[in-house]
A = this chain, B = another copy of it.
């Protein structure tokens, strides 16, 4: 049975990485003392080693050890053997490119569908949706495809940001961008604000955390849903 946390961000303003989620993660990863980390999204371009070391600091607080997938000769085997997986944030294009390069998309899909707990934050959450067509990231590399895991039957927009009515900047608001997405695509998009997450258990999808989420469905006006709302029907 699928068991997934799809979080908007790893870090909320003023906090330490994963701090706001640690209580949840203690339960989520209760059956393992070791979590396999996928550092491919390389925030600010840092190396896989540096990124893994940072994440280890956070997980030590709940007595979990983190091993980076780059430490294994055979990354597919590492995925198959893992008792828990975490994909961190950074650049979604860099992440997806590396996942395709190492031919890991199908392997991760299979183990997560079979029950390996999967935590994603930011870029690591984007890839839980059908495609990365609603990422906020700059396309600094060209991946072979925008298609991703499809653990949920819609797209994710992490770090969802409301329009700033005082802005004089002429770039598009997040809402405008997602509306443009729906001129070319029909799947729903869930905008998750920083500090909230989706909890997926089997076919049940529930919004968790302190904040409302914003839902964009094709040919409908966007609407807000409260925390604890079930989104299992959305597709």
Contact = CB atoms under 8 A, between A and B. Distances in A.
Output the residue of A9, A133, A140 with the most chain B CB within 10 A. A140
B141 A184 contact: yes
A190 to B, nearest CB: 15
Contact of A138 (B13, B142, B181): B181
Interface residues of A, number: 43
A131 to B, nearest CB: 8
B138 A136 contact: yes
Contacts of A79: none
In the complex, the 8 A-B pairs of residues with the closest C-beta atoms, listed nearest first: A45-B183, A13-B168, A138-B177, A140-B181, A159-B171, A142-B146, A9-B170, A45-B180
Contacts of A180: 42-45, 90-91, 94, 138, 140
Given A170-B9, A170-B13, A140 B176 contact: no
Q: How many copies does the complex hold?
A: 2
A198 interface: no
Given A180-B45, A184-B94, A171 B136 contact: yes
A45 B182 CA distance: 9
Contacts of A137: 172, 177
